[in-house]
């Protein structure tokens, strides 16, 4: 593949999937999209990430395996958090100019974010090494 370097066939597989447009025409996609959108609105309004809800929806309605549903739900939570942060920062700028109160408590962020990131990192590592049944049991118990 790279000239003088001999790479075994198993090592040439890339960890990312190849996007197949034909999978979007399956009957599961519209229902899964609508439920994900509505649960995203509710989770954002409640101030929770909603990862467990997204995993269940992706597995039950989307027909996605456990090992693929967990990272995809992390991505959904991340983009929802980015959107909420942008909206809250804009609101904070408007509010802080009028009454001086902050909308985001950065002291709490300093306490919560490192532990949340380390838990996410641990969960991603375990996702590759733990059987699907154990992941479902852990998500059910938590």
Helical residues (DSSP H) of 1-142, grouped into ranges:
28-46, 51-60, 66-98, 106-129, 132-141
Quote the pLDDT of residue 98: 64
Sign of CA dihedral 92, 117, 57, 27: positive
The pLDDT tens digits of the residues spanning 2-39 come to 444 444 455 455 556 677 778 778 888 899 999 999 99
Q: pLDDT band for position 114 (50/70/90)?
A: very high
Mean of the pLDDT values across residues 131-139? Answer: 83
Query: What CA–CA distance (Å, rounded) separates 62 from 79?
Result: 19
The pLDDT tens digits of the residues spanning 51-94 come to 888 988 998 998 888 888 888 888 899 898 888 888 888 877 77
pTM value is 0.68
Distance of CA 107 to the CA centre of its chain: 24
- pLDDT of 97 over the 70 cut: no
- pLDDT of 96 over the 70 cut: no
Q: Is 8 helix (H, G, I), strand (E, B) or coil?
A: coil
Q: What is the largest CA-CA distance in the chain?
A: 66
């Amino acid at each position: 593949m790279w000239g003088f370097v001999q790479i075994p066939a198993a090592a040439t597989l890339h960890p990312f999937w190849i996007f197949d447009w034909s999978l979007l025409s399956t009957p599961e996609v519209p229902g899964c999209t609508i439920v994900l959108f509505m649960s995203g609105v509710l989770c954002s309004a409640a101030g929770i990430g909603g990862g467990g809800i997204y995993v269940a929806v992706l597995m039950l309605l989307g027909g996605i395996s456990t090992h693929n549903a967990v990272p995809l739900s992390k991505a959904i939570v991340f983009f929802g958090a980015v959107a909420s942060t942008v909206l809250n920062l804009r609101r904070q700028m408007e509010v802080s100019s009028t009454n001086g109160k902050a909308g985001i408590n950065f002291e709490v962020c300093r306490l919560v974010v490192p532990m949340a990131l380390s838990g996410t990192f641990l969960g991603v590592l375990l996702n590759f090494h733990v059987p699907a049944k154990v992941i479902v049991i852990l998500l059910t118990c938590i």
